[in-house]
Structure 1
């Protein structure tokens, strides 16, 4: 079953069109990697999928339902959670309070998933009473992902989770995300500049260039094609 379908999606900011006719689909439980150089529309795609900006044309479907006209909070209540670039945690709140905010954001008071979150990120369990803003960048990213899991989502959207994080923690976060995907059957869309990280964890990949989709396929197909050198300068 297709969990998320995007058809001929256009979106942008005011009169500035960024995404141009983007189409792809992801089956339930798959990981989709979104690649492309800076400024090519990757973050705009995440924002359009989450409802933070509007689609100007085209369709976004979740489990067959067109959600293109829904606000971000309505999409969250249908099971889409977003981990934004820069993490977006509440720095003055404790780790425990940040996790609880994830449940509140879902709007439906989902089951308490704190035990599962701490099993994926045991380091957070050691810091439950610590102010989130005093933690390292990698720990804050773990918290942001954990807060997303607290919403009990069907789909997780991640924007540059490796940004500003030590390489050892980048690897750990990548491994944990794949574990979450396997254990939870959760669909994941991940935007990354870290191409090896994407190739290690994604089932399928797409490449954006100037807001248009220039390549899509299985990770093996994309990684072995000439488009990687052409559009990603690897």
Structure 2
């Protein structure tokens, strides 16, 4: 479904991701764990096209998308929920959701009812300005907006950041429900290990831009990896 081969990604002259290889199967949830500054966000940006690959290849459903710009990758089915949510604070909840539909292609049918089914709070606040909502509600909106584009793959960058634990748990349950109901592929970048472990058994550990460990949840949890690379 989504894979990277020998992927290198840079910020200007500084290489941050150093030749990573991984595959995310269709319908799978994969957690990418690592401490601050280890390259997790850079990897997400390389996958979604907001940063160009310096070397290596990226494939979606067998198609080489390495040189496709971000907006084309979006229309191919890659949706990103950025750290900090990236909503439009001066637009209403409904307008934010509509922006997601447009990003997926103007002819895309509306998924408004389905999105509200996952996030009833959004249905209660359609006319409310997005910037007036809580951090957790804004994260729900960011995910809902991405769903409006009919994605194949959801890339989430630190979705628990700045959100109350009870809402983090709720969002994790909804992501699991989306995956279960729609078979949607989800890649979640996080420092919140319990959240990732609640969602997936397939984990990748990133350290200084390199994959230093990959395996199932139990293998990661029962090894020295947690102490060495996650400071847990």
Task: Tell me the TM-score normalised to structure 2 length.
Answer: 0.98
Note the alpha carbon deviations across 1:52-72, whole angstroms, 9 max, x for none: 000001111000001000000
Deviation for aligned residue 1:108: 4.3
Unaligned residue ranges in structure 2 (runs of 5+)? none
Cα offset for 1:207? Answer: 0.5
Q: Is the 8 A contact 1:6 1:61 kept in 2?
A: yes
| Correspondence for 1:49 among 47, 50, 55 | 47
Superimposed CA distance per residue, residues 131-150 of structure 1 (whole angstroms, 9 cap, x where no aligned partner): 00000000000000000000
The one of 122, 125, 129 aligned to 1:124: 122
Shift of 1:124: 0.6
Q: Equivalents in 2 of 1:51, 1:209: separation in Å?
A: 21
Coordinate RMSD, CA, aligned: 0.8
Match of 1:83 in 2: 81
What corresponds to 2:149 in structure 1? 151
Which string of whole-angstrom CA distances, capped at 9 and with x for unpartnered residues, describes residues 98-152 of structure 1? 0000011112431211111001000111000000000000000000000000000
Which residue of structure 2 aligns with residue 92 of structure 1?
90
For normalisation by structure 1, the TM-score amounts to: 0.97
**84-93 or 105-114, larger mean C-alpha shift:** 105-114
Deviations 1:203-228 (A, max 9, x none): 31100100000001122222222211
2:213 is aligned to 215
Moved over 6 A (4+): none
1:59 matched to which residue of 2? Answer: 57
Stretches of structure 1 lacking an aligned partner (at least 5 in a row): none
Q: 2:107 aligns with which of 109, 122, 128?
A: 109
CA distance in structure 2 between the aligned counterparts of 1:103 and 1:125, rounded to whole angstroms = 16
What is the number of equivalent residue pairs in this alignment?
A: 232
